[in-house]
Amino acid sequence: MLKVNRDDERPIWQQLLDQAIHNITSGKWPPGELLLPSRELAQLLGVSRSTIQIVYEELFSRGYTVTSRRGGTRVSEWTYSPYSSQEETPQGPVPPELPLLNAAVDHLHSWFRGKENRNVEIDFCPFEPYLDEDFQKNWRKSFLHASVETDLTSWTYGNAYGFVPLREQIQRYLSLERGIHVHIDQILLTSGAQHSLDLIAQALLNEGATVSVEDPGFPASWLALKYRRMHVVPVPVDEHGLQVDRVHPESKLVFVTPSHQCAVGVIMSEPRRQQLLHMAAQHPFWIVEDDYDSEFRYRGDPLPTLFSQQPQNTLYMMSFSKVVAPGIRISAIVGPKEAICQLAQVHELTYRHLPIMEQLTLAHFIKHGHFMRHMRRVRNIYRRRHEAMTKAIVETGLGQRFKLSGVETGLHMLLEAEESFDEEALTNQALEKGIRVYPLSTFCLESNRKGWVLGFAKVDEAAIEEGIYRLAGMLI
């Protein structure tokens, strides 16, 4: 018999429904059991008939009962067997083994130094930019304005290319700051470099295609491409950038960071740039140009892009991770219209579009000048920290023990050592002294180069000096 508990906060119909389902699933009401007519049961329980009708309708809609005009409402003929706590819990499907995925994630953790949870006093992180309360205040202001000003159409399914006003702001920025003049249909918004590369692999390459990447370089690039079953070929990097003559002749894509090589930090020389552009024209392949931190140049203006010289087969990647904050998760691919259209189709099929609120906020942030003011402010901060890092390395004698590179552009520089350098042991020793440094080997695919990639964006001048002096004390 069902019971009504007047002290229960749940609605009466919900109480009765839960009891009925329990009686059916536990076998108390066996299959074929005839339930009392709704009017009769309502009188017995002292509730309205409409309450019982709701319960019966829910039981029927969920498949617990069947009804007929002559046969009334009966428990369904089903094969449910109540679970006994003494029985062994049945196991669900076992996920397949994915050694490639596991190895890639382990490499990413190693690259980010994510396995080390101990607190450190000084972290020379090369991945994250400087953020302060001014940024947070202005971002919050843009977020609130975007929330108020947006209309209801913004909350429907969006454009796979990305929010049009944001693409217009990016178009204007690229034209003024990077010399890239494109139509907004040549801009596709994504959620980071890995997302961009994943789309490129799906939309523009066939499985098993040969792709060439810098080594040392950006690990997420080759990990993403390998996971899409591309044949990834490492190409050495020297003081002039990618060794173009070592690019695999069957490459369908070459990934480069020409304005500030990821890890080594060098600038790709003009002869090498022209050599790569000529090769791409002669043996058509995609050049993927990752321009991740070229805005921060300490000697003159940012360098011209490969895209501005050869837009027909170059895909230009920009991201707001370094120039604003990684948590925003907005980046862009710029390229030929046909290629961007195909990327957008894959994006629509697999992701649909980016979350609208971040796009609305960033569009407001750029349009109302917060972005450029933020850029001017952090450039000054980075310049001071860059000078402090360079000065400390010279004064402590680390510049004599290591080869210093990557000092013209970006948010990190490289202290490169001999191949005999015990990178792991000395990295752990630095950690014991409260300093986190980032080994060059984690940026290497096949290269045996050793050293430390040191970022300075999140470390103030005093901490930079202290950290470099502690490192020097270990080594000299």
Q: What is the mean pLDDT of residues 36-51?
A: 90
Q: Please check the confidence at residue 76 and state whether its pLDDT lies above 70.
A: yes
Q: Is the CB of residue 345 less than 8 Å from the CB of residue 337? A: no
How would DSSP label each residue in 378-431? HHHHHHHHHHHHHHHHHHHTHHHHSEEE--SBSSEEEEEE-TT--HHHHHHHHH
Q: Is the CB of residue 49 less than 8 Å from the CB of residue 42? A: yes
**Structure confidence at residue 70 (pLDDT):** 77
pLDDT tens digits, one per residue of 89-126: 667 788 887 778 888 888 777 777 755 556 789 999 99
Look at residue 108 and give its three-state secondary structure: helix
Per CATH, 12-75 and 154-364 having the same topology is answered no
Copy the structure tokens of residue 331. 């980046």
Q: Is the CB of residue 160 less than 8 Å from the CB of residue 344? A: yes
CATH code matching the domain that covers 12-75, chosen among 3.40.50.1820, 3.30.230.70, 1.10.3720.10, 1.10.10.10: 1.10.10.10
Mean pLDDT rounded to a whole number for the chain: 89
What is the spatial distance between Cα 473 and Cα 476, in angstroms, rounded to a whole number? 6
Phi, psi of 411 (to 5 degrees): -115, 10
Q: What is the mean pLDDT of residues 215-226?
A: 92
Q: What is the mean pLDDT of residues 376-381?
A: 92
pLDDT tens digits, one per residue of 424-447: 899 999 998 899 999 999 999 999
Q: What is the mean pLDDT of residues 380-388?
A: 94
- In 137-275, DSSP assigns E strands to 187-190, 210-215, 231-238, 241-242, 253-256
**Structure confidence at residue 85 (pLDDT):** 55
Look at residue 229 and give its three-state secondary structure: coil
pLDDT tens digits, one per residue of 163-197: 999 999 999 999 998 889 999 999 999 998 999 99
Q: From the CA atom positions of the chain, what is the Rg in Å?
A: 30
What is the spatial distance between Cα 23 and Cα 65, in angstroms, rounded to a whole number? 12
Q: Please check the confidence at residue 86 and state whether its pLDDT lies above 80.
A: no
Cα dihedral 383, 241, 195, 99 sign: negative
pLDDT tens digits, one per residue of 232-281: 999 999 999 999 999 999 999 999 999 989 999 899 999 999 999 999 99
Percent of the chain with pLDDT over 90: 62
Which DSSP symbol is given to 193? H
Phi, psi of 312 (to 5 degrees): -70, -25
Q: Is the CB of residue 76 less than 8 Å from the CB of residue 33? A: no
Could you confirm whether domain 112-130+373-475 is CATH 3.90.1150.10? yes
Other beta carbons within 10 Å of 241: 23
Q: Is the CB of residue 365 less than 8 Å from the CB of residue 138? A: yes
**Structure confidence at residue 280 (pLDDT):** 94
Look at residues 396, 374, 385 and name the one whose alpha carbon lies nearest to residue 454.
385
Give residue 453's pLDDT band: very low, low, confident or very high (50, 70, 90): very high
Q: Please check the confidence at residue 87 and state whether its pLDDT lies above 60.
A: no
Strands 65-68 and 435-436: unpaired
pLDDT tens digits, one per residue of 44-56: 888 999 999 999 9
409 vs 128, which has greater pLDDT? 128
**Cα of 449 vs its chain's centroid, Å:** 27
Domain boundaries, the chain: 12-75, 112-130+373-475, 154-364
Q: Please check the confidence at residue 469 and state whether its pLDDT lies above 70.
A: yes
What is the spatial distance between Cα 306 and Cα 65, in angstroms, rounded to a whole number? 68
Q: What is the mean pLDDT of residues 355-365?
A: 93
CATH architecture label of 154-364:
3-Layer(aba) Sandwich (3.40)
Q: Is the CB of residue 413 less than 8 Å from the CB of residue 405? A: yes
| Angle (deg, nearest 10), helices 356-367 and 370-396 | 80
Q: Which residues does 289 contact at the CB level (< 8 Å), separation at least 6? A: 256, 257, 258, 305, 306, 307, 314, 315, 316, 317
**Structure confidence at residue 460 (pLDDT):** 94
Q: Is the CB of residue 168 less than 8 Å from the CB of residue 183? A: no
Q: Is the CB of residue 201 less than 8 Å from the CB of residue 345? A: no
What is the spatial distance between Cα 209 and Cα 201, in angstroms, rounded to a whole number? 9
**Structure confidence at residue 200 (pLDDT):** 95
Q: Judging by beta carbons within 10 Å of its beta carbon (0-12, 13-18, 19+), is residue 86 exposed, middle or buried?
A: exposed
| Angle (deg, nearest 10), helices 133-149 and 370-396 | 160
Copy the structure tokens of residue 238. 């020297």
Q: What is the mean pLDDT of residues 273-301?
A: 89
Lowest mean pLDDT among 47-61, 147-161, 224-238, 445-459: 147-161
**Structure confidence at residue 338 (pLDDT):** 95
